[in-house]
Structure 1
Amino acid sequence: MNQWKNFSKGFLKENPVFVLLLGMCPTLGVTSSAINGLGMGLATTFVLLMSNIVVSLVKSAIPEKVRIPAFIVIIATFVTIVQLTMQAFVPALYKSLGLFIPLIVVNCIVLGRAEAFASKNNVGSSAIDGLGIGLGFTFALVLLGGIREILGSGKIFNITIYPENYVTLVFVLAPGAFIVLGYLIALINRMKKN
């Protein structure tokens, strides 16, 4: 029961984007569309889940002096798997996400969960934590990307919502990411106070 509390905590109360303000580089960089947000979120979720499991399994075998480099090697292994899989099976998404996929290795969300949680807890709890944080990150990216895509192109997931005559181009450009993210964080903070 306590393990599932960690899952919902990572998804809602400690959402990496809206509450902890972590992982801002991919959050702002890839969320020009909902599909990009979904792809990046699922890739990061896979890396979080698998690296948390492996770190939890091998934590006692890693010497204290090389703990962080060992965690980075574990994370880099799963990022490489994601990168090669995306390149082979979804090349358009891979091309769209570009450099942000290899940067998952140094994403503070992934390394932070390996260090703060997986290295101190059992495999089950670590897996649930990774899944909760990863899905919370995915939710944030899809929400941000979806809002930007609707406002900037009149579509979401390539489904036309309203004609392009009424779109505001700034929302699919870099400043739009800051504007939408700022409003979403303000809205979430307002909802938490009530």
Structure 2
Amino acid sequence: MKTIMKARVCIRKEYSILFLSLAVAVLILVLRNMEVLKTPSQFQHEVNSTIMAPRVSTDPDVHWGFCTFQPLSPEDALEERLLLDSIAWPETPLLPANLSLEQTSDPAHSTFTILPGRGGGQWHVGDQLEVRINMSDFQGRPKKSGGDLLLARLHNQKLGAGVAGQVVDHLNGSYSAVFSLFWEGDAQVEVMLKTNMLNMVVL
């Protein structure tokens, strides 16, 4: 038991000596480099004395900076014009003075037709089903312009399946709706005309 106690005391003495010598070495290092550790005011004074203001040239040919305006080259000006033209909103045509609600789209007079599939009348899962929509006004006359907001869907109530159709406006009163076929069995096509913010009418 005494030998174990002596061994522990020796180990503690060795660690104490090691720690003490390490502390002395750090203290000597700090004292030797004391001139590096200056007060903040001295350090600030030295930093301020070394800051130089950048010189800006007034000569336009010397240097173009990041924030200065350069006139566009003819090629860049043309590209800019083409980009702006491609995203420009088309002008809204003026409404004729004699426009009446009777000339607007009427769901009761409008129709849609399911176009035949590629191989005849049969469709398979993965095929595209296309529907042709023809809009007419309240007097039964075919529309000659587009712009109606149509929503189309294909669904099967039993299966609880449905898919939205992609509607294409042909700008002549006719539209196409294309559906992807994702299930086997019956499917019902439904086309709705959105007449205002709160009202939708099924064709």
- TM-score interval for Structure 1 and Structure 2 normalised by the shorter chain: under 0.3
Q: Under a length normalisation based on structure 1, what TM-score does the superposition of the two structures give?
A: 0.23
Higher percent of residues as helix:
1
Structure whose alpha-carbon radius of gyration is higher: 2
Q: Which has the higher contact order (CA 8 A, sep 6+)?
A: 1
Higher percent of residues as strand:
2
